């Protein structure tokens, strides 16, 4: 029932061809030629296959005790998801001339934390959602206790990889920096802190500034970490380029969550693989709920332009990062 399930025909590999074609609407005239778009689609497919294999190899085997926990971990991580964060890791590595093998374990670590955040986000005590990535949520397919433990174990596994995965650069200073970046992005100043603000928000009147600050934490922090962790694998990287990457990642992360809110309003469950209009049902103060759909879309366009402008110091090697930004911010799921 579990791995490789058909995600209602959705796969990241199909997505770019479908949506990058509309990217010029918001891309300030950056034309994505047909051949370039096709090459990008092939690249995304290859990164998706790579991360799937890398995750499958690092998750505990389903036939070893405790089998129910292992099966639930594999169910929650494998066979679905756009793999946006690993793709940002790989695209940043490409921009910096770092090999994919060197950043693969870091990409896995971030995706494991992300998958854990989704399992917990869906729990009855949080968003109480039944559908994720086109399938029953972890606590529906298994049970609540197992879903809580899945989150715990995925988080531990993520940090275990940073400590001891042989594929990562051996330099202890690099591993320490990776650990610090992921811990900061996952903890109170990042995802967990943002989620705490999020679950306290229903029924409250938040300003757009408060909403954006919550988004920068709950979603932006892990997206930013994806870019910065790849950069940390290039320890000799000039400070100016590190700063440029941070300036790229922050607007992408914020815009990604605003787009998630917009899709909750505008998309349908079959395309999205999760319940829609769920934010409204929970009286969740979202970006579009506070400023309106059109103003949220305009904000996404502005953030997209900011992100691309930050990449100015990079030449052609950053093209996959630019194309990812185009895709992420006009995505239809
Ligand atoms: C969904 O993230 C939750 C947010 C942080 C907005 P994604 O849209 O990346 O979810 P998957 O991994 O593709 O399922
Ligand atoms: C979740 O935001 C952000 C996380 C840190 C998991 P949402 O609650 O909007 O994500 P979805 O819509 O359930 O994927
Ligand atoms: Mg939530
Ligand atoms: Mg949710
Ligand atoms: Mg959402």
- pLDDT digit string, tens, across residues 147-184: 999 999 999 999 999 999 999 999 999 999 999 999 99
Q: Of 8, 4, 18, which Cα lies nearest the Cα of 48?
A: 4
Nearest residue by C-alpha to atom 8 in ligand 2:
121
pLDDT for the residue 73: 98
Long-range contacts made by residues 161-166, C-beta under 8 angstroms, separation at least 24? 161/58, 161/105, 161/106, 161/108, 161/109, 161/112, 162/105, 162/106, 162/109, 165/58, 165/105, 165/108
Residue 135 pLDDT exceeds 80: yes
User: Do the Cβ atoms of 200 and 179 come closer than 8 Å?
Assistant: no
Q: Is 86 close to ligand 1, i.e. is its CB under 6 Å away? A: no
Place of tokens 């990241």: 12
Ligand nearest to the CA of 12: 1
d(CA 315, ligand 1 centre) in Å: 29
Ligand 1 atom closest to 273 (CA): 14
Category of 108 on φ-ψ map: left (φ > 0), alpha (ψ -120 to 50) or beta? alpha
pLDDT for the residue 333: 85
Q: Is 117 close to ligand 2, i.e. is its CB under 6 Å away? A: yes
Q: Which residues are bridge partners to 135 per DSSP?
A: 132
- pLDDT digit string, tens, across residues 26-49: 444 455 568 888 889 899 999 999
Give me the DSSP letters along 123-148.
Answer: STTTT--SEETTEE-HHHHS-HHHHH
User: Do the Cβ atoms of 221 and 194 come closer than 8 Å?
Assistant: yes
332: confidence class by pLDDT, cuts 50, 70, 90: confident
300: confidence class by pLDDT, cuts 50, 70, 90: very high
Category of 206 on φ-ψ map: left (φ > 0), alpha (ψ -120 to 50) or beta? beta
119: confidence class by pLDDT, cuts 50, 70, 90: very high
pLDDT for the residue 30: 55
C-alpha to C-alpha distance for 234 and 241, rounded to whole angstroms:
11
Place of tokens 């990287």: 237
What beta strand segments (E) does the chain contain?
A: 131-132, 135-136
In this structure, CATH architecture of domain 43-329: Orthogonal Bundle (1.10)
What average pLDDT score do residues 88-114 get?
A: 97
Residue 257 is encoded by which pair of tokens? Answer: 């969550």
C-alpha to C-alpha distance for 225 and 47, rounded to whole angstroms:
18
Q: Is 195 close to ligand 2, i.e. is its CB under 6 Å away? A: yes
Q: Which of 25-29, 229-233, 269-273, 291-295 has the lowest mean pLDDT?
A: 25-29
Residue 292 pLDDT exceeds 80: yes
């Amino acid at each position: 029932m579990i791995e490789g399930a058909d995600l209602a025909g959705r796969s990241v590999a199909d997505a770019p061809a479908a949506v990058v074609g509309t990217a010029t609407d918001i891309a300030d005239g950056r034309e994505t030629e047909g051949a370039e778009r096709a090459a990008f689609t092939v690249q995304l497919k290859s990164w998706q296959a790579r991360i799937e294999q890398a995750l499958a190899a690092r998750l505990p085997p389903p036939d070893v005790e405790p089998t129910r926990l292992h099966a639930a971990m594999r169910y929650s991580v494998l066979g679905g998801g756009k793999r946006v964060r690993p793709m940002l890791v790989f695209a940043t590595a490409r921009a910096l001339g770092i090999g994919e093998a060197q950043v693969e374990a870091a990409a896995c670590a971030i995706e494991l934390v992300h998958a854990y955040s989704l399992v917990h986000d869906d729990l009855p005590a949080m968003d109480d959602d039944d559908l994720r990535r086109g399938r029953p949520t972890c606590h529906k397919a298994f049970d609540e206790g197992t879903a809580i433990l899945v989150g715990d174990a995925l988080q531990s596994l993520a940090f275990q990889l940073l400590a001891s995965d042989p594929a990562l650069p051996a330099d202890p200073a690099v591993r320490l920096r990776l650990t610090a970046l992921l811990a900061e992005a996952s903890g109170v100043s990042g995802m967990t802190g943002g989620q705490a603000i999020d679950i306290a928000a229903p029924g409250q009147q938040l300003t757009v500034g408060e909403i954006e600050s919550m988004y920068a934490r709950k979603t932006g922090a892990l997206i930013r970490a994806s870019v910065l962790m790849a950069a940390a694998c290039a320890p000799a990287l000039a400070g100016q380029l590190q700063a440029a990457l941070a300036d790229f990642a922050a607007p992408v992360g914020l815009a990604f969550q605003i787009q998630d809110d917009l899709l909750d309003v505008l998309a349908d469950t079959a395309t999205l693989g999760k319940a829609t209009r769920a934010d409204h049902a929970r009286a969740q103060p979202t970006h579009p709920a506070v400023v309106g759909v059109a103003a949220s879309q305009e904000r996404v366009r502005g953030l997209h332009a900011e992100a691309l402008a930050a990449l100015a110091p990079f030449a052609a090697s950053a093209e996959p990062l630019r194309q990812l930004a185009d895709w992420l911010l006009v995505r239809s799921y």
